[in-house]
């Protein structure tokens, strides 16, 4: 799929543009957008609205062929709702309409001439990025392991956005960023969709090495003996039941100044989670291949920012392991010692994500980070609280952490990859008390996602930190089963904003 910017003189009518299809907007009150007006020389588009063939409501579409005095072979009308009230949601829906219709056309190319400069609180660059990401997301297929590949839809393969001379540079940058982000999301989806017998901790490590080679990143992979030397007893307690060796992956994108403190992303990499001795029910257990989507999002984000050549220092840390039951597996009631020296009573081996993350969060102290964000499919309780729309965002309540939370929330809103802030308070810490160790690894059913975040918070006292629980957003179930690539858009936009702030 190809995307480009065409510099177009506003004095020249878009009716002269030759293409397989041109997409323009219409409004609910039977009014035309300026772009639609430019194509309506003989009144055919106005007649279509008046006849009721298209309502103009958001999501409505009508495809016209051979419109008089228009060089394009087809004109796609897309409803934008009330005139003068174009929101980001309307444009996002319009992008979905373009993707859906374009996939069915026999045209080679399409010009997207929607009113991208008339969106409330958004600019043209945002609209271009959103449209490119939507088109790429709609075209994503995962048939790598099928002996007979899915039939690829013909559809439009080349999309053109219009920009004035003054807009062209920003528009081209928006396309480049959107393509890089889509490539990162595709990597995160591919890793998530691979089954556990393919996507092992070693596979994740090799993926990181390939990224490092392609984009000249720093990479280090620690094995079991090195983890033992670091006294990562909590992480290794999870790996004990598996035949697959654990891997501790460190990626470095050093695009900023040498003296600048890095932003650190920590991704949970449980490549299959059986629950361990606290075995999960069999139904839908296949979806526990997605328990490494935190790791996948870190790798996907690195893929995106490396392609962008983002001028920021970013370090990715991925503790990767399986969580399996066996004669050597950690048992409920066992007590393990984390890298920090704190002891943990493992009351439930299915609460393993926090056990691998706590050692990673201790490890990253050595980087003296500007901020740390961990990303994990951590708790089913977060799905109960927030469903599948928002990722859960947890951090301490003070000025530094409030600032980090606002950065992440804003990046999520801009990218459409939203999060919702949840509380962390000392009162919840009481649920993690243990009679036999410094803490228990679970706090009971009440506020399960919050107590999980409180557990992690104990290991992050030396830096500014936030936790994203993506259990409800990293993949879809049912007929649409598959990894979503979230929260790569949120993280990438967060880092882009950080890079802009340190210029």
Set out the domains of the chain in order of their start, with CATH numbers.
Answer: 2-147+157-163 (3.40.220.10), 183-501 (3.40.630.10)
Which of the 8 DSSP states describes residue 229?
H
Is the pLDDT at 152 greater than 80? The verdict is: no
Give the percent of the chain with pLDDT over 90. Answer: 94
**pLDDT tens per residue, range 113-129:** 999 999 999 999 999 99
Clarify whether 89 is annotated catalytic. Answer: no
From CA 76, how far away is CA 434, in angstroms rounded? 64
* Number of H-type helices and E-type strands within the chain: 15, 20
For the beta carbon of residue 51, count every other beta carbon within 10 angstroms: 10
**pLDDT tens per residue, range 71-100:** 999 999 999 999 988 999 999 999 999 999
From CA 369, how far away is CA 366, in angstroms rounded? 8
**pLDDT tens per residue, range 417-443:** 999 999 999 999 999 999 999 999 999
Judge contact between 369 and 264, C-beta under 8 A. yes
Is the pLDDT at 10 greater than 80? The verdict is: no
Clarify whether 280 is annotated catalytic. Answer: yes
151 or 426: whose pLDDT is higher? 426
pTM of the complete model:
0.96
Judge contact between 70 and 45, C-beta under 8 A. no
The H-or-E segment that residue 449 falls in is helix 448-457
From CA 229, how far away is CA 227, in angstroms rounded? 5
From CA 169, how far away is CA 492, in angstroms rounded? 21
Annotated catalytic residue: which of 6, 30, 158, 280?
Answer: 280
Q: What's the pLDDT band for 30 if we cut at 50, 70, 90?
A: confident
**pLDDT tens per residue, range 342-362:** 999 999 999 999 999 999 999
- pLDDT, position 8: 87
List Cβ neighbours of 299 (8 Å cut-off, separation of 6 or more).
Answer: 187, 188, 191, 204, 207, 208, 211, 251, 267, 316, 318
**pLDDT tens per residue, range 355-387:** 999 999 999 999 999 999 999 999 999 999 999
List Cβ neighbours of 431 (8 Å cut-off, separation of 6 or more).
Answer: 443, 444, 446, 447, 451, 454
Strands 74-79 and 22-26 come out as: parallel
Is the pLDDT at 153 greater than 80? The verdict is: no
10-19, 58-67, 184-193, 254-263, range with the lowest pLDDT = 10-19
Q: What's the pLDDT band for 11 if we cut at 50, 70, 90?
A: confident
Mean pLDDT of the chain: 96
**pLDDT tens per residue, range 217-263:** 999 999 999 999 999 999 999 999 999 999 999 999 999 999 999 99
Q: What value does the mean pLDDT take over residues 482-499?
A: 98
Angle, in degrees to the nearest 10, between helices 353-363 and 448-457: 30
Q: Which two three-digit tokens encode residue 9?
A: 């003189």
Give the percent of the chain with pLDDT over 70. Answer: 100
Is the pLDDT at 475 greater than 90? The verdict is: yes
Annotated catalytic residue: which of 354, 458, 486, 498?
Answer: 354
Q: Which two three-digit tokens encode residue 10?
A: 């506003």
């Amino acid at each position: 799929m190809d995307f480009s910017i065409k510099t177009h003189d506003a004095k020249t009518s878009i009716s002269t543009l030759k293409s397989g299809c041109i997409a323009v907007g219409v409004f609910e009150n039977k009014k035309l957008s300026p772009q639609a007006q430019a194509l309506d020389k003989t009144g055919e588009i106005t007649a279509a609205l008046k006849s009721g063939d298209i309502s103009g409501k958001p999501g409505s579409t009508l495809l016209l062929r051979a419109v008089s005095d228009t060089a394009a072979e087809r004109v796609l009308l897309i409803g934008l709702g009330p005139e003068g009230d174009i929101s980001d949601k309307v444009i996002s829906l319009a992008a979905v309409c373009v993707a859906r219709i374009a996939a069915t056309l026999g045209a080679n190319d399409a010009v997207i001439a929607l009113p991208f400069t008339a969106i409330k609180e958004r600019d043209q660059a945002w609209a271009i990025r959103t449209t490119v990401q939507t088109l790429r997301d709609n075209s994503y297929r995962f048939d790598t392991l099928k002996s007979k590949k899915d039939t690829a839809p013909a559809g439009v393969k080349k999309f053109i956005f219009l920009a004035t001379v003054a807009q062209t540079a920003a528009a081209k940058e928006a396309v480049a960023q959107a393509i890089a982000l889509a490539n990162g999301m595709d990597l995160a989806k591919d890793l998530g969709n691979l089954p556990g017998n393919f996507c092992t901790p070693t596979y994740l490590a090799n993926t990181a090495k390939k990224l490092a080679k392609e984009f000249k990143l720093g990479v280090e992979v620690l094995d079991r003996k090195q983890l033992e030397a670091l006294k990562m007893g909590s992480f290794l307690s999870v790996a004990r039941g598996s035949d697959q060796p654990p891997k501790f992956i460190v990626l470095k994108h050093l695009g900023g100044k040498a003296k600048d403190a890095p932003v650190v992303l920590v991704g949970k990499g449980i490549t299959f989670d059986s629950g361990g001795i606290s075995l999960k029910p069999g139904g839908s257990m296949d979806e526990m291949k997605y328990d490494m989507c935190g790791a996948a999002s870190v790798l996907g984000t690195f893929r995106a920012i490396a392609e962008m050549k983002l001028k920021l220092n970013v370090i990715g840390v991925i503790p990767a392991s399986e969580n399996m039951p066996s004669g050597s597996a950690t048992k409920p009631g066992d007590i393990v010692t984390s890298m920090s020296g704190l002891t943990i009573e493992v009351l439930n081996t299915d609460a393993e994500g926090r056990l691998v993350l706590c050692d990673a969060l201790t490890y990253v102290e050595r980087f003296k980070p500007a901020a740390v964000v961990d990303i994990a499919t951590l708790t089913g309780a977060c799905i109960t609280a927030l469903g599948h729309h928002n990722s859960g965002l947890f951090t301490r309540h003070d000025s530094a952490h409030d600032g980090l939370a606002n950065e992440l929330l804003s990046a999520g809103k801009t990218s459409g990859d939203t999060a919702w802030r949840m509380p962390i308070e000392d009162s919840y810490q009481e649920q993690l008390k243990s009679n036999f160790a410094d803490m228990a690894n679970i706090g009971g059913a009440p506020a399960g996602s919050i107590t999980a975040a409180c557990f992690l918070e104990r290991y992050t006292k030396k830096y500014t930190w936030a936790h994203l629980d993506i259990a409800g957003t990293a993949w879809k179930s049912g007929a649409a089963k598959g990894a979503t690539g979230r929260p790569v858009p949120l993280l990438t936009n967060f880092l882009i904003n950080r890079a802009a702030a340190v210029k």
